Chain A
Amino acid sequence: MLPLKFNVNACNSCPTGDCLVKCQYMDVDKDTAREQMIKIYNGEDSFVLHNCVTCYACEEYCRRGNHPFYLIMEQREQKNILTAPRAITNQWINIGEPTGKNRLGQIRERVLSLGFMPELLQMVGGPLFKDVMPSYLFGNDFFCNVVFAHFAKSSVIKERLPVMIDKYRNLGVKEVICLHDECYGAFASLAPAYGIEVPFTPIHYYEYLYERLQTLADEISPLNIKAAYQRPCSARLSGDKQHYVRDIAELIGVDLVHREYQDENALCCGEVMGWLYGYDLKNDLQRRNCDDMVESGARYCIFNCNACQNALSEKVMKLGIKPVHMIDLCRMAIGELPKMEV
């Protein structure tokens, strides 16, 4: 099996214990954080293994390049500590099984990956994606499997991720624009953490959008709207790309409201928490998150992830906030889509 690259010395000498100190779901001080991470590394039991809600945030909080969340995921599986109910875990294992059900466009060296989300296809036909389309692909062979981090199933990731990367290799692609953080995180974070070679350059779609919008600058009409941004859990695997949210917002005239639950302090959409822990945690997260959007004066909620959008759209709409995917927001800015009125 592929070993995780984890440097315990980095934990030993960590001056902050940020991975757990900053955790929004556990109350941990610096010394305890360090002590628990070392215990986990040594294969001992820890309350962290039982209480982690799988928000991925510690991957971002750790400034020393270690992989605290992947280690927690590994050790949970080793100890057979289930995160989600068995039926839900198995359901996702079945959904993500690569069976060759794919749809490929005219594949070139640069390709747009929709992962396993065919619904994204309707968003990528216009001017924003003109210089890459119709080079696209989606299907269960291209499902990145990062979701199994929520289920503490690193074995599934390690089994399927190299096979999936091989599919790309066989297509001869050189650059893959990922339309979801999880896919990007699979190539830019998980694969390197397990020493899996990635034979192409992964490109976060925010980076792509930003560049395209600059090219299409003459087409942009500032939207002049106030919006909150719903940061997904998988964005913790690509923290270095999150500045593009502000960069893009600035380009298209979106005022990103200042709110409590943003950037590092972002809250999960709650969907996975419902699978893992039931109503109360899910409801608490969603209520605090939505209330925060209202209090900050947002009239729109920008989504990056379709799962977050599914989980929160209805809830924010009932509060008078319009849900919109980042791609659709950019399409509105260049006039490809009419501006949605609140």
Chain B
Amino acid sequence: MNDIVRSLAEIVGEQYVSDQNEEAFFYSRDPGLMPDHKPDCVVLPETTKEVQAIVSLANREKIPVVPMGAGLSLTGLAIPLKGGIVVDMKRMNKIISVNEKSRYALVEGGTSQGALKSYLIRHHPRLRHSLPDAPPAATIAANVMIHGQGRLSQQYGFNSDMINGFEVVLPSGELCPIGSAAMTSEWYSRGAPFPDLSGLFLGWFGSTGIITKLAVKLYPNKKLRDVEIFVIDNEETVPDVVFEITHTELAEDILIFTQPMPAVFKDNHHVSFYITGDTEEELEFKRKMIWRALDPFIKSKDGGFMSIPPGVKGSLTEMPQTSAARIADIKKGGGFEYSGPVVPVEWYPQCARKLSELAKKYNLAYSGMIRIVAGGHCMMYAFAFAFNRADVDMVERTKKALEEVSNFVLELGGMYWKPNVDEQNMAIERMHPNTRNLMKMIKSNLDPNGIMNPGNWEVL
């Protein structure tokens, strides 16, 4: 490996490669519950050419390559399960350009959510991107790669739906533009009207290539933004409430949460929706339409709006929302993990009942956190548990609860969001054989040596 480290140092410079234990320790884990595994070395490229050279070297030597953004998936997607080289993309953090009229930003593969957000605020205040409720250090490319969701997902789909193409380093080391950039220097489409090749990479967790450049769609950044919370005591009613809100086509974002603490949230389901406007009139119009759409529930006493104190409103409207971090540490000890299957909205009742059953069975602090995607076509339902890492028994109970969620989701017919390797294998087992074969064809053709993030999507 020493030769490899030396070769890598020749590519990126000595200070940006390491095979030391200190670095290996940090790159062997993420904040979730998956077992750690050390890489052989870590490298931080600065340019696309450096990434190409690293991948070419790894392919030639048949060494695993694990691309990494901020390493925040919580499900171990950037843990080097078979050792090899972790390619930390953080140095590739430039915002290359913003096309204001066509509303997209071209960024490098390691650019963080926070960097783009602050850049847009400073230079293009009328534009925004779909910011996930992750720490600002989370990278845009990694979030797209896992089909993340963000503040605009209710309107426009998964964050991976909100891109205009990308440039990817293939396992061979070749560079391939995907989308309109394959034809021109402009980044206005990720595929249409030609074959959309982005699916060869999105959702593959880096097991088919490394994104080095990405065109992110931007959207109007309205001057005003507000939130309302509709509260329901019966989980069966939640899909109907979501249906009525989405029917108005006026909500920016719809999040649902259910949790037993603090007491104000006990025993209820909270559908929070966000509205935006450039004027008070626009904002009030949207508020009025949605309130009226929910009037039948108020009249039947099945649901109602709760008062949100101004202090709380501030934390609900911040982007990203940090209140999730407070819930995450409710047991102290820094442990938090969730399983977030993507399922139809009408499955909310089953998911809510299962969450409550598991929390009781394993005596765990819990929270159900749900984001509506694409006007209600589906939702991400996060079965979230907070635990104390120093409490071995609590950690074990959390693992068991999450395992049960995995089985429950599979039985239900849901799709795991950012599945860990165990869940990936369960999904592969479950999927239609022809679909599995198609995945095999893609993987074996793109990555015949199996070097890219091995362990993930092991269809071969």
Contact = CB atoms under 8 A, between A and B. Distances in A.
Interface in B288-312: 288, 291-292, 294-295, 297-299, 301-307, 309-310
Interface in A76-123: 82, 84-88, 90-91, 94-95, 97, 99
B392 interface: no
- Chain B contact residues: helix, strand, loop or mixed: mixed
Interface stretch (B69-77, B262-270, B347-355): B262-270
Interface stretch (A12-20, A190-198, A253-261, A269-277): A269-277
A92 to B, nearest CB: 9
Given A85-B297, A85-B303, A90-B267, A278 B231 contact: no
Contact of B304 (A84, A94, A97): A84
Given A87-B231, A313-B310, A94 B301 contact: no
B301 A271 contact: no
Contacts of B233: 85-87, 90
A91 B264 contact: yes
Contacts of B263: 94-95, 97, 99
Nearest to A275: B304
Interface residues on A, range: 20 to 34
Contact of B232 (A87, A275, A280): A87
A279 B292 contact: yes
Interface in B380-401: none
B288 A318 contact: no
Contact of B298 (A85, A97, A314): A85
Contacts of B309: 310
Contacts of A274: 305
A87 B238 CA distance: 12
Contacts of A99: 263
Interface string A300-325: 00000001001101100010000000
Contact of B302 (A85, A280, A310): A85
Contacts of A276: 298, 304
Contacts, number: 73
Interface string B248-264: 00000000000000011
A283 interface: yes
Interface string B152-191: 0000000000000000000000000000000000000000
Contacts of A91: 231, 264-266, 268, 306
A107 B292 CA distance: 49
A21 B278 CA distance: 44
B357 interface: no
Interface in A184-222: none
B404 interface: no
A275 B301 CA distance: 10
A88 B295 contact: no
Contacts of A280: 292
A85 B301 contact: yes
Nearest to B295: A278
B9 to A, nearest CB: 58
A54 B185 CA distance: 65
Contacts of A84: 301, 304
Contacts of B264: 91, 94-95
Contacts of B294: 278
B295 A279 contact: yes
Contact of A275 (B268, B292, B305): B305
A239 B308 CA distance: 29
A313 B301 CA distance: 28
B307 A85 contact: no
Contacts of B304: 84-85, 87-88, 275-276
Given A88-B231, A310-B307, A277 B268 contact: no
Contacts of A314: 310
A97 B267 CA distance: 14
Contacts of B280: 318
Nearest to B302: A85
A266 B393 CA distance: 59
Nearest to B304: A85
A39 to B, nearest CB: 23
Given A87-B268, A88-B231, A310-B307, 7 more contacts: A85-B298, A87-B231, A91-B266, A91-B268, A99-B263, A275-B305, A277-B298
- The 8 A-B residue pairs with the shortest CB-CB distance in the complex, in nearest-first order: A85-B304, A279-B291, A87-B233, A87-B231, A94-B263, A88-B304, A82-B301, A278-B298
5 contacts: A85-B231, A85-B304, A86-B302, A90-B267, A91-B264
